[in-house]
Every structure is written in structure tokens, then in C-alpha cells.
């Protein structure tokens, strides 16, 4: 989506070769339960894995969690101990929760409007279908 934020599905986040190829340093899972992600092939280091339990339902507390998630992404991408940090944000299918969180992050940190944020994500990701509750 940007040079250091990526969106994918659980399947994409579980693809160790792709995660290693993109030099992902942090993974944010927005799933009901924390998924087990495979170790990366050497010499790549396993990314730091965060989990925020969220359901893809209209009454999911995504908006309530957005300040916390935005801060988590911001701190990960500004970690002084990591060269060129990159965050991979995923949900089950990469179409609703992950794009919604990234749009919220872009609005909070980049001054984008919702319309600008969704346009930016759709241009890069294409397959975006936000839950109406988000």
C-alpha cells in the first residue's frame, strides 16, 4: 500500500517465501484467534507478530481499537532498532478488517480523508470490501 505497509490474507501471511522476499519485519493479525505463522527461511529473521482479535461483523469493535492499532503500526514502523521496518497487516481474506485498519492508519498519520484512504488502498490492493459496520 505504501513502501512499508502491506495488506494480505491469512494465506498470504502464511507464505514464508513471500514474507521473506518482501523483508517484512512485523505482522499484524486481525483475526479471531492468533494464527500460527511459519518460520521464515534463513537468513531472514522471523517478523515480530502482533495479534488484535477482531471479528468481521458489523458490531466488531474495530473503531474502538483503532487508536491502539494505529499506535502499534506507527511504533513498529518507527522502531529505531530495525532498519527499514515493514508491516504486513492481514485478516482472513485481506478484504475488510486489514484494509479498514490501514485506511484508518493513513487517515490518522497521513492526513488523508476516508475517500482518499480507500482510493489509495483500492488502487494497490484492488479487492477491498469493507464491512458496513467499520
Whole-number percent of the chain with pLDDT over 90: 85
Residues in a beta bridge with 50: 28
Q: What does the domain layout of the chain look like in residue ranges?
A: 5-125
* Matching CATH number, 5-125, of 3.20.20.70, 3.90.190.10, 3.40.50.10440, 3.90.1200.10: 3.90.190.10
Residue 134 has pLDDT above 80, yes or no: no
Q: CA distances (Å), 2 to each of 53, 124, 129, in order?
A: 24, 9, 19
Q: CA distances (Å), 76 to each of 25, 26, 44, 68, 69, in order?
A: 9, 7, 18, 12, 11
Residues in a beta bridge with 90: 8, 29
Q: Which tens digit of pLDDT belongs to each residue from 77-116? A: 999 999 999 999 999 999 999 999 999 999 999 999 999 9
Residue 125 has pLDDT above 90, yes or no: no
Amino acid at each position: 500500500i505504501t513502501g512499508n505497509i502491506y495488506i494480505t490474507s491469512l494465506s498470504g501471511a502464511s507464505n514464508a517465501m513471500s514474507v521473506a522476499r518482501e523483508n517484512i519485519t512485523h505482522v499484524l493479525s486481525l483475526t479471531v484467534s492468533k494464527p500460527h505463522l511459519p518460520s521464515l527461511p534463513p537468513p531472514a529473521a522471523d517478523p515480530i507478530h502482533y495479534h488484535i482479535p477482531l471479528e468481521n461483523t458489523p458490531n466488531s469493535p474495530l473503531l474502538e481499537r483503532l487508536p491502539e492499532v494505529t499506535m502499534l503500526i506507527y511504533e513498529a514502523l518507527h522502531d529505531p532498532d530495525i532498519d527499514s521496518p515493514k508491516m504486513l497487516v492481514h485478516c482472513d481474506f485481506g478484504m475488510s478488517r486489514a484494509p479498514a485498519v490501514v485506511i484508518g492508519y493513513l487517515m490518522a498519520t497521513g492526513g488523508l480523508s476516508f475517500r482518499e484512504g480507500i482510493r489509495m488502498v483500492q488502487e494497490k490492493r484492488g479487492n477491498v470490501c469493507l464491512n458496513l459496520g467499520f
